[in-house]
Amino acid sequence: LRLFLDTAEKSAWREWLPTGLFHGVTTNPTLLAAAGIPCDLAVLPALVDAAFSLGANEMQIQTFGRTADVLERNGRAIAALDPRVVVKIPVTFDGILAAGRLKADGVRVTITAVYAAHQALTAAAIGADYAAPYFGRMNDAGRDGEGEIVAMRNLVAESGAATRILVASLRSADDLARLAARGLDTFTFSPKVAAMLFADPLTEAAAEAFEAAAGADQVPAPSAV
């Protein structure tokens, strides 16, 4: 199992990375904007330093540009920031062209914004490290997210490629469990979904009952002893 936290908010990295649940963090230009960070190569070194110093083992950063040449150039600059950085690239014609060039030079890449099984095959064909389907957005668009993602996983496995299916756009802890039960093992999700992993009222009631039985309220805090 490999989990990523899908946000560029350092406060969320600070909160969630120490739990040990996450292999790393994923970002994209939309998430940078949401965190008030410009999509600018000049700001990325500080962001990368923050992610790794807060405990990420891997950081995924999306390249940007409207042509393969610009996507490739920005992707090389992003990859040069740290060997633990993976470059995300949308599954467009130019994106695949740029990703293939980056892979040829040993850069690790994630093909993102994947909505259909045949797109995952293009990621496998260029030897991408990850292909990232958008589960929630597929369902929003009236597609069968679960069926399509299971098909992706099967097609990529049968192709012999080592590309991992990195499921994104999860909206709930149930989404995560449902897809894990179908054999998916790599996910990225928001801090909001991460919080849902700990939001079971029965667990909260049980934990509270344990504390009440332990008389925890009567025990002085260590600093007061």
Task: Identify which of residues 174 and 204 has a Cβ nearer to ligand E4P in the complex.
Answer: 174
Least separation, in Å, of the C-beta of 76 and ligand E4P? 21
Task: Identify which of residues 30 and 203 has a Cβ nearer to ligand E4P in the complex.
Answer: 30
User: How many angstroms separate the CA atoms of 154 and 171, rounded?
Assistant: 23
Compute the residue count for the chain. Answer: 225
3-class SS of residue 204 = helix
Q: Is 88 a catalytic residue?
A: yes
Contact between residue 161 and residue 197 where contact means Cβ atoms under 8 Å apart: no
Contact between residue 157 and residue 194 where contact means Cβ atoms under 8 Å apart: no
Four-point Cα dihedral 10, 16, 17, 18, nearest 10: 120
Least separation, in Å, of the C-beta of 205 and ligand E4P? 30
Least separation, in Å, of the C-beta of 114 and ligand E4P? 10
Q: Residue with CB nearest ligand E4P?
A: 168
Task: Identify which of residues 52 and 187 has a Cβ nearer to ligand E4P in the complex.
Answer: 187
**Which positions touch ligand E4P (CB under 6 A)?**
6, 28, 31, 112, 134, 136-137, 168-169, 171
Task: Identify which of residues 196 and 218 has a Cβ nearer to ligand E4P in the complex.
Answer: 196
Q: Among 60, 120, 128, which residue's Cα sits nearest to residue 98?
A: 128
Q: Among 144, 220, 140, which residue's Cα sits nearest to residue 178?
A: 144
Least separation, in Å, of the C-beta of 34 and ligand E4P? 9
- Which amino acid is located at 191 in the chain? P
Q: Which residues are catalytic?
A: 88
